Amino acid sequence: MFEGFQAETVDGAGLPVFVRHAGAGPAVLLLHGHPRTSATWHRVAPRLVAEGFTVVCADLPGYGRSGKPVPADDHEPHSKRAGARRLLAAMRALGHDRFAVVGHDRGSYFALRLALDHPEHVVRAVLVDCLPISEHLERITPRFATQWWHWFFFAQPGTPERVINADPDAWYRGDPEIMGAENHAEWRAAMRDPEVVRGMLEDYRAGLTVDYRDERADRAAGRRLDQPVLVLWSLRDDLEQLYGDPLRIWRDWATDVTGHGIDSGHHVAELAPGDLTAAIADFLARTPLPDA
């Protein structure tokens, strides 16, 4: 897994950020979702290197082997804005001042915040299986609350930690044949770490509080993504079922947005790596990116 990649921990504005990186050419930052680590990209990252990119896979702040912010009552240390600053610092520590970002699931929220807050550094954005948090919360229906109930369970103080840590293998189920044995082993070790569990839950708690507030402020100020944006979604997941065409919603957030569905379940980097890589590489090749 990740043959030819260098694994190291770099400074992310005072928080250690674990990264894997390889390649030459324009830089692309890959951000995983819940409950994965950067290992979820093990079938995509080498393909992107072969396409001529410098690829950086980071464990999100609070996840995997990255540092764990100290929780606060307002959840700000786990906000996407704080996380984006840390990820930007990590990329600059690696020598990448301008780069594209690809985010899946929760990683897409960090990618969105990176692109909104740091457009001078983020030149392209690929957002996979997500809408802005505020768009979800302002469209709550019984169907959404039933299918995405974990958002609100994770927001409860204390209880989710006790439930998950009592039997993490039962709570987070994964198949090593589907995920890949090494990816599965890394993911399973992370799930058994109570500090990782707390970090992941704080990510969701921030989502319903400080992140929601920040997105509403963005909309009130008329802030939009001016970089080219590619939106992708898994056709065998429920995003399109809940909302119809996700591009219709994303056009309120970005001036140049394109996208399409991929025939896959939710963890698309593991289930359909070829299709996902092709979509990312084609999008990034449309307009030359700055050198890494």
Mean of all residue pLDDT scores within the chain: 96
Would you state the structure tokens that stand for residue 17, as one six-digit string? 């950020």
What percent of the chain is predicted at pLDDT more than 90? 97
The answer on pLDDT for 289 being more than 70 is: no
Tens digit of each residue's pLDDT (9 = 90 or more) over 16-27? 999 999 999 999
How remote is the C-alpha of 61 from its chain's centroid?
Answer: 11
Would you state the structure tokens that stand for residue 69, as one six-digit string? 């912010």
- Banded pLDDT at 286 (limits 50, 70, 90): confident
* Rounded mean pLDDT, 191-195: 97
Tens digit of each residue's pLDDT (9 = 90 or more) over 144-175? 999 999 999 999 999 999 999 999 999 998 99
Whether 266 sits among the annotated catalytic residues: the reply is: yes
d(CA 58, CA 69): 16
- Give start and end residues of each alpha helix (H) in the chain: 45-50, 80-93, 106-117, 133-137, 142-147, 149-154, 159-166, 168-171, 176-179, 181-191, 194-206, 212-221, 239-243, 246-250, 268-271, 273-285
The region, left, alpha or beta by phi > 0 then psi within -120 to 50, assigned to residue 222 is: left
Question: What is the reported pLDDT for 180?
Answer: 97
d(CA 224, CA 115): 9
CB atoms within 10 A of CB 67: 19
- Which residues lie across from 21 on neighbouring strands? 6, 56
- Indicate which residue of 34, 118, 184, 266 is catalytic: 266
Phi, psi of 21 (to 5 degrees): -150, 150
Domains of the chain as residue ranges with CATH: 6-285 (3.40.50.1820)
Please, what's the b/e burial string for 132-167 (b: 16 or more CB within 10 A of its CB; e: otherwise)?
bbbbbbeeeeeebeeeeeebeebbeeeebeeebeee
d(CA 34, CA 21): 21
Confirm if 40 and 270 have CB atoms less than 8 A apart.
yes
* Rounded mean pLDDT, 77-92: 98
- Indicate which residue of 105, 117, 211, 237 is catalytic: 105
The answer on pLDDT for 290 being more than 90 is: no
Residue predicted with more confidence, 289 or 217? 217
Question: What is the reported pLDDT for 216?
Answer: 98
What percent of the chain is predicted at pLDDT more than 70? 98
Tens digit of each residue's pLDDT (9 = 90 or more) over 233-279? 999 999 999 999 999 999 999 999 999 999 999 999 999 999 999 99
pTM above 0.85, yes or no: yes
Question: What is the reported pLDDT for 207?
Answer: 98
* Rounded mean pLDDT, 65-83: 98
- Banded pLDDT at 141 (limits 50, 70, 90): very high
CA-wise closest residue to 27 among 96, 111, 110: 96
